[in-house]
Structure 1
C-alpha cells in the first residue's frame, strides 16, 4: 500500500468516496438529514459538502490517500498547529458558494458550528497534538482492516515523523468507538451534540505517541 498526499485531479473521485462512506453516518442522519424532505437532495448536499471540504484540504496539502494498485482505498485529512489554517474565504474559493442555499433552507451554519465545536474538543490539549479530521474507507472495503492499517501503518508513523506527541479524533457511532479502542485510542470526552432538537452522541479520542 502507498500513503501519499491527495492531488487536485482526484477531488471529484475523493468527494464521491467520502459521500458514499458518510451518507449514513449518525452525525448527519440524526441532525441535518432531518431538514431535507427528499433523499436525493440530501445526497447531493453530502457530496457537495465533501467536495468543498476536500478541495480546500487537498490544496493545503492536508489530505492524504491510501492506495493499492492505483486504487484509492481510504482518505485521511490531518490537522495540526503547524499546518495551514483554513479560512472561510478558502472554502468560498473552493466551491463554498454552491452551499449558500443550504444556510437558509437547512440551517447549515448551525450544523457547521456544531461540527466545529466537536472537532475542537480533542485538539485543546497540546500544540504537539495532531488531529484526524476525516478518515473515510471506500465502501466495499470496509471491515477489511483498511482503516486500522491507515492509522497504524501510515498515519501514526507520518505524524510522529513531524513531531506529533499525540493523535486525536472524534466519532459518533458505537461501532467506531469499539474500532478506535481496539486501535489503542482512549476516550477523552463524551457529550451530546444538539442540532435543532436533534441529538447525537459524540466521543473524543486520543492516543499518546510518546513513551
Structure 2
C-alpha cells in the first residue's frame, strides 16, 4: 500500500484543497453560522467551497499550506501562518467573488467573528505560529490520519521554522478531545455571540520541544 506523502501544496491545487476543506467543515458550528446570512441558505455549499478555495490560495501564496497525499489524493490539509492577514489581503485574493452569495455587510460581520475568535487566543496565551485550519478528508475521518499529520508533518515543519508555541482555536467538543490527545494545552473557553446565535471557542497551544 502506498505510503502517505507530506508536502507543501502547489498553487494549482487551491480549488481541490478548498473542496476538501469545505466538505470537512460543512457541518462545523463556526462555519454553519453564516448559512442564514447568505442571500439564500441553499448557497451555503457553493459559498463555503469558494471561501475555502480563496483562503487556500491566499495561504499558498503568502503563508503555509501543507497537505497529506495518498495514492494521488489529498487526504488532509493544514493552513498555518506567522502573521495576521488584513482585509486588503482578502480583497486582493478575489474575495469579491463571494458577493454573489453574500452581501459585503454580512461578510464583514462574519470576518468580525473570525477576528474575535482569534483575539480570544491571543489574549489567552503566547504563540508564534497559528494553525488556522486542520482538516481530514470527510470520508476517512476517525482513522488516526489527523494525529499522524500533526506528528509527522505539521509539528516537524513549524519546528524547523523555529516555532516555539503553536496556537489554535476550535469550536466543537470532539476537537477538544483530539487536540488534548495530541498534547495541546487548553488555555481558555468562551462563547462568542453572532447575532442571536452563539458558538463555543476553545483556545489551545502546544509547546514545541527543541
TM-score w.r.t. length of structure 1: 0.89
> Cα RMSD over matched residues?
2.0
Provide the C-alpha distance between the structure 1 equivalents of 2:70 and 2:149, rounded to a whole number of angstroms: 12
Structure 1 residue 34 displacement after superposition: 2.9
- Per the alignment, residue 7 of structure 2 pairs with 4
Tell me the matched-pair count: 206
Whether the 8 Å CA contact 1:123–1:130 is kept in 2: the answer is no
Q: 2:107 maps to which residue? A: 108
Farther off after superposition, 60-69 or 6-15: 60-69
CA distance in 2, matches of 1:123, 1:73: 30
Q: CA deviation at 1:122?
A: 2.5
* Aligned partners of 2:186 and 2:205 also within 8 Å: yes
* TM score, norm. by length of structure 2: 0.89
Q: Which runs of 5+ in 2 are unaligned?
A: none
For the structure 1 residues 89 and 79, does the alpha-carbon distance in structure 2 shift closer, same or farther, using more than 3 Å as the test?
same
Determine the structure 2 residue equivalent to 1:136.
135
Within-5 A mapping of 1:6-155: 6-29=9-32, 31-36=33-38, 39-81=41-83, 85-101=84-100, 104=103, 107-123=106-122, 125-126=125-126, 129-155=128-154
Distance 1:46 1:106, change over 3 A: farther
**Structure 2 contact 43–101 (Cα < 8 Å) conserved:** no
Gap change, CA 1:105 and 1:158, over 3 Å in 2: closer
List runs of 5+ in structure 1 lacking aligned partners. none
Query: Aligned residue for 1:192?
Result: 191
